[in-house]
């Protein structure tokens, strides 16, 4: 038997430990409960940043003067914001640098701004849906930490815009945007809560805020007179949710409200009935006329009749692998998803 010198032995042991560590770190692929399969009905043009994890989060603007017309606002988190129509055509692009998550309320578009990794900002834009075009209104300071997730509360026209900003360390800041013509936007914090670890996806359901803690699950945060009632309502269990938990969205279907979550770890989407977070099923977007989705970050959903292509609402999902092109977003008829899940 060949004997190893001490230095060779140490190197051999170190290399073996490194291999073992890598194997342990990667581990076997985890798959949750089998999802029902749907296929995409459309896709957007790729974002401008190629060969990078760049597409991140979409939002849907519905034309108040024509509820059958909608636009997609989506982030290239390396460069700025894209405007797409429902045919997926790239209608406009506005440079914004590292804007991560985006949402829209009325004609106000807000994105979490990561251009300053030390202090958080909200990038605020005005949407002209007729052109269509986005115009920057400026940046609102939002306290310390790296801005990450963001969502807006649906409110009546004329009411202040309420935003939830999720700092990368799990700090949640909810407040109102002050917008005055000719003045820089300002963000006034109403309440704050700390989730234990890195969080990003969020969505409002009335005054209740749902936040995705990536490695742990979905939190429900409800402000009250004594502070914030916080409860982990859908843990990562490797059945319904496989880490990371990423984008969150809500949709109304036949009088019932549902929450959808991106189960990024196994490229699926979990659906829960609100307000009790009753699990109703999972779906995945498989290859068809358009490619499958994988490793989805942001999602969005909206009810309504958007013509022959999307007569029963729309679901949007970021696609983490749109090779050979850059990343993009896939569009799915919501009524197909609802039928596949057996939603009544």
Q: Residue 69: CA atoms inside 13 Å, Cβ hemisphere, count?
A: 7
pLDDT tens across 19-56, in order?
A: 344 444 556 789 999 999 999 999 999 999 999 999 99
Regions of the chain with pLDDT less than 50? 1-24
Residue 321 lies in a domain: yes
Residue 115 lies in a domain: yes
Phi-psi region of 170 (alpha: psi -120 to 50; beta: other; left: phi over 0): left
Range of the domain at 226: 36-341
pLDDT, position 100 = 97
Overall domain count for the chain:
1
CATH assignment of the domain containing 96: 2.120.10.30
Strand partners, 138: 124
Residue 272 lies in a domain: yes
Contacts of 133 (CB under 8 A, 6+ apart): 83, 92, 94, 127
Cα R_g (the chain), whole angstroms: 21
Backbone angles phi, psi at 337, to 5 degrees: -65, -50
Q: How far apart are CA 272 and CA 276, in angstroms?
A: 8
Helices within the chain (DSSP H only) = 6-26, 334-341
pLDDT, position 27 = 62
User: Of 141, 57, 65, 148, whose CA–CA distance to 106 is shortest?
Assistant: 65
Q: Taking the chain, what is the end-to-end CA distance rounded to the nearest angstrom?
A: 71
Contacts of 232 (CB under 8 A, 6+ apart): 213, 216, 217, 218, 219
pLDDT, position 157 = 75
Residue 157 lies in a domain: yes
pTM beyond 0.85: yes
Residue 208 lies in a domain: yes
pLDDT tens across 256-276, in order?
A: 999 999 999 999 999 999 999
Residue 211 lies in a domain: yes
pLDDT, position 4 = 43
Residue 97 lies in a domain: yes
Residue 16 lies in a domain: no
pLDDT, position 6 = 43
Give ∠ CA 220-109-213 in degrees, rounded to 5: 25
């Amino acid at each position: 038997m060949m004997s190893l010198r001490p230095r060779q032995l140490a190197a051999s042991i170190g290399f073996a430990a490194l291999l073992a560590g890598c194997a342990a770190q990667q581990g076997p692929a985890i798959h949750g409960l089998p999802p029902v399969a749907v296929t995409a009905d459309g896709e957007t043009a790729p974002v401008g940043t190629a060969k990078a994890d760049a597409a991140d989060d979409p939002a849907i603007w519905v034309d108040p003067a024509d509820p059958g017309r909608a636009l997609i606002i989506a982030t290239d988190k390396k460069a700025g914001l894209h405007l797409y129509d429902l045919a997926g055509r790239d209608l406009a692009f506005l440079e914004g640098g590292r804007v991560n998550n985006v949402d829209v309320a009325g004609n106000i578009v807000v994105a979490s701004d990561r251009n300053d990794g030390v202090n958080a900002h909200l990038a605020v834009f005005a949407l002209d849906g007729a052109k269509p075009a986005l115009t920057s209104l400026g940046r609102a300071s939002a306290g310390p930490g790296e801005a990450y997730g963001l969502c807006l509360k649906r409110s009546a026209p004329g009411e202040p815009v309420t935003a939830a900003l999720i700092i990368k360390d799990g700090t949640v800041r909810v407040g109102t945007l002050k917008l005055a013509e000719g003045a820089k936007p300002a963000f006034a914090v109403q309440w704050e809560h700390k989730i234990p670890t890195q969080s990003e996806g969020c969505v409002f359901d009335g005054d209740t805020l749902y936040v995705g803690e990536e490695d742990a699950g979905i939190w429900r945060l409800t402000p009250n007179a004594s502070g914030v009632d916080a409860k982990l309502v859908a843990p990562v269990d490797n059945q319904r949710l496989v880490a990371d938990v990423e984008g969150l969205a809500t949709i109304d279907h036949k009088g019932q409200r549902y929450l959808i979550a991106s189960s990024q770890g196994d490229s699926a989407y979990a659906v829960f009935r609100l307000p009790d977070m009753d699990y109703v099923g999972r779906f995945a977007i498989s290859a068809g006329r358009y490619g499958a989705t994988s490793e989805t970050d942001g999602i969005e959903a909206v009810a309504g009749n958007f013509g022959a292509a999307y007569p029963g609402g729309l679901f949007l999902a970021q696609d983490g692998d749109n090779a050979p092109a850059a990343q993009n977003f896939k569009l799915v008829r919501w009524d197909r998803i609802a039928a596949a899940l057996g939603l009544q």
